[in-house]
Chain A
Amino acid sequence: MSAVELSRITFRYPAADHDVLREVSLTAEARQVTWLFGPLGAGASTLLLVAAGLAPGLTGGTLAGEVKVWGHRISTREGRAALQGRVAYVTATPHLQLSGMASSVFDEVAFAPANLGWPRERIEAAVPGALARLGISHLADRAPDRLSGGELQRVVLAAMLVLEPVAWFLDEPTSALDGEGRALVRALLAAEAARGAAVLLATEDAELGLAVAHEMVLLTEGSAVARGAPDDLLGTELMWAIGAGSTGVAELARLAALRGPVRHPRLRPPYPLTFEAAVERWR
């Protein structure tokens, strides 16, 4: 059994005239980071909402197919109850993911545990650990609305981490972050996968995906068109055929191959994905 199983998912928002997802089937394994990649509007955000059990419940719309997270059908009430407080969902806009009522970072991270009715002693034991893992222990007493975007995103991640989720669904989690913050997220996702969680990550940031993902799924126009290891897929022409693009190094290598003055077998796809790989190829 895979930790996350989507079978033949078709989804349409209310009052919309087309399906955003069309018969998508995909799986994400425990202990792995699965990366959703595709051009803007390919349906990755909606797919995460469906997988996290937020759509159609909170958006309306029609869903066909079956979504299972750790064996529970998350689109049903029983399924959501079984997974209550064990699913993390993170987006690119940290200020909109705050509780809206906490007056300190500590209370912000304690929000979900308190809502779940954890005893106070358990909350007081768990929150400092989550803050420490994101390197924000020093912010515990600060007001969330006085923090920078990067600090806020760490608070939001800590607020999820404290629940020890069995599945993470992340939609562009690093777009509010600087280099240091991105490295932290990379390490966090790797550690969460190692702990045993299933991680489903949608990001346009090919360097991040390449660095952290075990598997990638290519999405275009609401359909999953390919699946494989990022190393194998990311350098192929398919990436440009669907308009997704690739890492900066691969983009350059492709430009050199298509527009450059030289023709050479080593310039052909698959293109090198990193600087090291490019150097290796010409050695």
Chain B
Amino acid sequence: MNPRLLALIPTCVALNVVLGRIVSELGLPIFLDTVGTVTATALAGPWVGIITGLVGQGLQALTSGQLMWLAFAPLQVLIALIAGAAAARRGYRGAASAVLWGALCGLAGGLVSAVISYAVFKGATTGGITALTALFRWLGLGLAAAVSVGSVAADILDKALTFAFAGAVLRALPVRLASRFPVALRASGRE
């Protein structure tokens, strides 16, 4: 494997973890814990994003002492694939297009994570989303519907911001640096 990717992937996983923590410290209702994965994909393509996502998911499941989070691994692959499609179509050239791609990713990802939450976790995953699920359930929705509405709503907002963020970083990256990554210039609409 190219040394550049060996340097990039751990960095991007660490960015996922660290930004996730900053966001939760600020008490914001989003996660931003895939921004490193999306950035890695926009710099070096979907395969690098998939590896980043899977390594991150595996190690976070391990180090948090909650290996059941491994169940969300397919979600990481999906996010990297959509982030890669966005990169191939210059999706990070501006904030608006990044937000749209992010919303699309959030919709797809939210549905997939709803299926996983419902099937594996019976609706009880992380606090915020479960609270939403409980609210919809209390309003009279069935469990499957409540889980999907809760997780899709949260995911669309989160992924829209995540993609917008990754796009802003990509466009702020000096050309000299960006040009050393295989897809960065195209992804940010500079080529």
Taking Cβ atoms with an 8 Å cutoff, the residues of A that contact B are: 13-16, 58-60, 100
CB of B3 within 8 A of CB of A58, answer yes
Contact of A60 with B179 in the complex, beta carbons under 8 Å: yes
- Is A58 a contact of B176 with CB atoms below 8 Å? no
Bound state CA distance, A161 and B178, in angstroms?
33
- B10 contacts across to A, CB distance below 8 A: 100
A241 to B28, CA, bound (A): 56
> In whole angstroms, what is the CA distance A71 to B170 when docked?
41
Contact B4 A15 (CB under 8 A): no
In Å, the complex CA distance between A13 and B176 comes to 7
Q: How far in angstroms is the closest Cβ of chain A from B181?
A: 9
Q: Which chain A residues border B175 with CB–CB below 8 Å?
A: 15-16
A to B CB contacts below 8 Å, 21 in the list: A13-B176, A13-B179, A14-B179, A14-B180, A15-B175, A15-B176, A15-B178, A15-B179, A15-B185, A16-B175, A16-B176, A16-B179, A58-B2, A58-B3, A58-B4, A58-B180, A59-B180, A60-B179, A60-B180, A100-B7, A100-B10
CB proximity of B48 to chain A, nearest CB, Å: 16
Q: How many A-B residue pairs have CB under 8 A?
A: 21
How many angstroms from the CA of A58 to the CA of B2 in the assembled complex? 9
CB distance from B93 to the nearest CB of A (A): 16
- Which residue on A lies nearest to B10, using beta carbons? A100
B side interface size, CB within 8 A: 11
Q: Determine how close the nearest CB of chain B comes to the CB of A53; give it in whole angstroms.
A: 12
The interface residues of chain B lying within 8 Å CB-to-CB of A15 are 175-176, 178-179, 185
What chain B residues lie within 8 Å of A14 (beta carbons)?
179-180
Question: Which residues on B sit within 8 Å (CB–CB) of A59?
Answer: 180
Give chain B interface residues in 1-34, CB to chain A under 8 Å.
Answer: 2-4, 7, 10
Which residues in A have their C-beta under 8 angstroms from that of B180?
A: 14, 58-60
Q: With a CB–CB cut-off of 8 A, which chain B residues contact A13?
A: 176, 179
User: Lowest 10 CB-CB distances: which A-B pairs, in order?
Assistant: A14-B179, A15-B179, A15-B175, A59-B180, A13-B176, A60-B180, A60-B179, A58-B4, A100-B10, A16-B176
Residues of A within 8 A of B3 (CB): 58
Nearest-neighbor residue (CB-CB) of A100 within chain B: B10
CB-based nearest B residue for A16 = B176
- Closest-CB distance, B191 to chain A (whole angstroms): 8
Q: Determine the distance from Cα of A14 to Cα of B182 in the docked complex, in whole angstroms.
A: 11
Which of B3, B4, B10, B179 has the most chain A CB within a 10 Å cutoff?
B179
Contact string against A for B residues 71-110, beta-carbon threshold 8 Å, 1 for contact and 0 otherwise: 0000000000000000000000000000000000000000
What is the bound-complex CA distance between A181 and B180, given in angstroms? 34
How far apart are the CA atoms of A191 and B90 in the complex, in Å? Answer: 53
Chain A residues near B176: list those with CB within 8 A. Answer: 13, 15-16
**Closest beta carbon of chain B to A81's beta carbon, Å:** 16
- The complex places the Cα of A59 from the Cα of B177 at a distance, in Å, of 9
B70 to chain A, nearest CB (A): 22
**Would you give the shortest CB distance from B174 to chain A, in whole angstroms?**
10
**Chain B min CB distance to A100 (Å):** 6
- In the bound complex, residues from chain B placing their C-beta under 8 Å from that of A100 are 7, 10
